[in-house]
Amino acid sequence: MPNRSGGDPVIVVTGATGFIGSNIVAELNAVGRSDIILVGDLGTGSKWKNIAKRRFPDIVLPENSTRWKTDVADYVARYLTQADIYR
């Protein structure tokens, strides 16, 4: 299925550096997809390890992701959690 510009569809995965999002990216890679834009914050911890072996052309910070989610993406998979929601 072509994207808006006529090429292959682009997938955006939000929360991609977390546990669930990184596993979605792994599964997409396993079926041959690498046209995935990751939205996530690597922070100062070890979240980079979640995506270290994954294939993707770009990762963007959540605050810079509006253009990707609205102008470029054909599919957006949102996998975000708020870790401190109950504090």
**Torsion of the alpha carbons at 81, 39, 25 and 74, rounded to the nearest 10:** 110
User: How does strand 58-60 pair with strand 36-39?
Assistant: parallel
pLDDT at 82: 52
58-69: average pLDDT: 78
Q: Which residues touch 79 (CB under 8 Å, ≥6 apart)?
A: 13, 14, 15, 16, 18, 20, 21, 24
The structure's pTM equals 0.73
14-36: average pLDDT: 91
